[in-house]
Structure 1
Amino acid sequence: MKRTTIKDVAEAAGVGVATVSRVLSGGSASPETRERVLAVAAHLDYRPSALGRNLRQQRTGGIGLLLPDLTDPLYGRLAEGVLACARSAGEPVLVGSTGGDPEQESELIGMLLEQSVDKVVAVPSGDADTWGPALRTGMTVVFAGERPDEPTEEPVDDLLLLDGLRGRPRVEGGIPTVLADDRSGVRTAVQYLKGLGHRRIAYLGGPGHARRVSAFREALGPLVDDELVVFAGGSRDAAYAAASGLFQSRPDLTAVLAGGNQLGEAAVLAARELDLRIPRDLSLVMYDDVPWAELCSPPLTVIAQPAQDLGYRAAELVLRAGIRRPRSVLLPTELIVRGSCGPRR
């Protein structure tokens, strides 16, 4: 007879996997929801294999790796770093794609709990509360590349900066995170564009770009034009629509900073469609270096982040969690100047 899973309980109770996980681990839920979930679990004779004591008694080893998009070159390189570290430690890796959807992320967390996976590296899609039930069961989690959505932005100085940079351990109680120093990268890029004479500089952003936008505003200072700070949804179509709309509504802008490789791709395509010549009509800097950036005509100036190292360091942290408490780290970025930027005309 097939064993009842947490997903079976969630479907029968009409709630999400994360809600079932939260109820069974003693987390917050309304009395009605808690009663319904517990009743369904009892009726289906659900025997949790990963929640509670069994998570602590039946370790299976291995690392769970949750990524928003397996086709994105950035996440592919990050995954390579995790796999390299896990391979050196003799640990298997279970990979899941969240599609950038918090609900799908919750379901995958539940599945990892079902399989007694107690170490996870994730590029988070939802907010920090999504991970609460898993953390209460004893799962060790390290975020890589991004933080979950939070009401306030954590200061850079609350991270340990590596490779000779200054810093200190992150504040107690937070989930360890390995990040690229995007604030420094964005500031350097804006200063470079200003040095070329650009004053009407746009930022094309997406979900989770609060730190980069903050750095962009700080670097521009009084030159910031709110109409030139544009956000797109997570899809390629949304990115293209945002770039095209920006370029058509503000023909006076002379430079744009695209906050990610998908947004940079959209900016290149929209500029081509609108007969904007790069860099003669529009200078372009893209956050993140991907293989196609150097193949563009002209090659794109980029803010490069060490994606593979992000994954490797995150895997190191999650594997060492039993020895000492992991500390968050911040890795340096680099501005690589190519041919997509020129002086303001």
Structure 2
Amino acid sequence: MNMRRTTIKDVAEVAGVGVATVSRVLSGGSASPETRERVLTVAAQLDYRPSALGRNLRQQRSGGIGLLLPDITDTFYGRLADGVLACARSAGEPVILGATGDDAEREAELIGILLEQGVDRVIAVPSGDGETWTPTLRAGLTMVFAHRLAAGRDDVPSVLADDRAGVRTAVDYLTGLGHRRIAYLGGPGQEQRLAVFRQALGELVDEELIVSARGSRDSAYAIAAGLLQRRPDLTAVLAGGNLLGEAAVLAARELDLRVPRDMSLIMFDDVPWAELCSPPLTVIAQPAQDIGYRAAELVLRAGGRRPRSVLLPTELIVRGSCAPKGISRSPR
């Protein structure tokens, strides 16, 4: 006899809506009357009983920390997770790890699972959709965002690197080398970095040199290669993450562009391979492990009070991937 418990994903599939929509309806969030009625009807038909949303969580919780990351294979997020695990281990707390793929629907599904399992605390690198986190907050869990914020969720404390200072330092360094046509390769959750990039460049900003990828290597390579082919006049690139920096290096190689003679490059994240490149990459280093450790400290020490947000410093590490403007690109 199949005794598998009905999940929030089952309700979403039968109702023909996304998991995030089911979460909003069941937590009393915004939805059209028709959608609300359909979701509630399906939930009743399937006998869906969300333990964390429909009961007294203070009595039902089993403890532990839920940790949601976009990509557990990414070196930066691996170091962040290591920081969380180190702090949780010292406190004797288990950690449940999930990978969202920077997808809001997958994120909502994992949130539902964490709620059903009765965790006490959640640390997340959010995908960007603030509404997804409404069920978690209404359930009374202690929440901390790490590395980036979710849109419209000022009510959640965070542990962040100082993106503003990092971007400004990088732009100042490139403009100081004479670069004026500077591109930005962005990805999910980088709204603040992009805003600061525009501010720092001011009148020099060229919107055609700003491109954004989804959270995958294929997407990152596609936008990097497309940009370098479409705008051979650009002289420098700021990559908003190590996945994007890797894509820029590969695309430049495929197009026979030499770094830094044909194109200067700065990348967020000082991952191990950055120093092994030829030439070694100039980077904006972020304290990934410290971000994770401090985020775990916040959720473990909250004690019913909202923790204070933490801002950690970044550092520009100058290596060999930037050079003064003035050398023309090689003929192609």
TM-score w.r.t. structure 2 length?
Answer: 0.91
Matched, 1:83 2:64: no
SS in 1 for 2:325: coil
Matches within 5 A, 1:227-306: 227-306=208-287
- Using the TM superposition, name which of 251-260 and 44-53 deviates more: 44-53
Q: CA deviation at 1:314?
A: 1.1
Does residue 1:211 correspond to 2:192, yes or no? yes
1:58 to 37, 50, 60: 60
- Structure 1 residue 13 corresponds to structure 2 residue 20: no
Q: Which runs of 5+ in 2 are unaligned?
A: 327-332
Aligned residue number for residue 51 of structure 2: 49
Change (3 A) 1:196 1:44: closer
Give per-residue Cα distances to partners, 1:291-324, cap 9 Å, x unaligned: 1101101100000001111111111111122253
Which region of structure 1 is more displaced relative to structure 2, 248-257 or 91-100?
248-257
Deviations 1:51-81 (A, max 9, x none): 2333121221100001111111111111011
In structure 2, distance between residues paired with 1:41 and 1:224: 50
Q: 1:196 to 1:21 in 2, by over 3 A?
A: closer
Q: Where does structure 1 differ by over 4 angstroms across 4 or more consecutive aligned residues?
A: none
Equivalent position SS for 2:56: helix
Letter in 2 for 1:239: A
* Residue identity in the other structure for 1:94: I
For residues 309 and 236 of structure 1, the distance between their equivalents in structure 2, rounded to whole angstroms, comes to: 26
Query: What residue identity is the alignment partner of 1:192?
Result: Y
SS at match of 1:281: coil
Matches for 1:161-240 after TM superposition, within 5 Å: 174-240=155-221
Report if the CA contact (8 A) 2:181-2:236 is conserved: yes
2:26 matched residue in structure 1: 24
Distance 1:335-1:13 versus aligned 2 partners, 3 A rule: same
Query: What are the ranges of 5 or more consecutive residues in structure 1 without an aligned counterpart?
Result: 155-172
**1:169 is matched with which residue?**
none
Cα shift at 1:9: 3.5
CA deviations over 1:191-246 (Å, ceiling 9, x no partner): 11122222222212222222112221222222222222222232212211222222
Q: Identity of aligned pairs, percent?
A: 79
Q: How far apart, in 2, do the equivalents of 1:19 and 1:105 lie? A: 12
Letter matched to residue 143 of structure 2? V
Residues in 1 aligned to 2:150 and 2:268: alpha-carbon distance in whole angstroms: 19
SS in 1 for 2:111: helix
Paired with 1:278 and 1:335, the residues of 2 have a C-alpha distance of 18
CA gap of 1:42–1:84, structure 2 versus 1, over 3 A, is: same
Residue 117 of structure 1 and its aligned partner are, at CA, apart by: 1.3
TM-score in terms of structure 1 length: 0.88
SS in 2 for 1:285: strand
- In the TM superposition, 1:315-326 aligns within 5 A as 315-326=296-307
Query: RMSD across aligned C-alpha pairs, in angstroms?
Result: 1.9
In 1, distance between residues paired with 2:300 and 2:272? 30
Q: 1:336 aligns with which of 302, 317, 323?
A: 317
Q: Which residue of 2 aligns with 1:33?
A: 35
Shift of 1:282: 1.2
Once the two structures are overlaid, the 10-residue window that deviates more, 293-302 or 45-54, is: 45-54
Aligned-partner Cα distance in 2 for 1:296–1:268: 9
- Residue aligning to 2:149: 147
Matched residue, 1:94: 96
Shift of 1:2: 4.0
Count of aligned pairs: 324
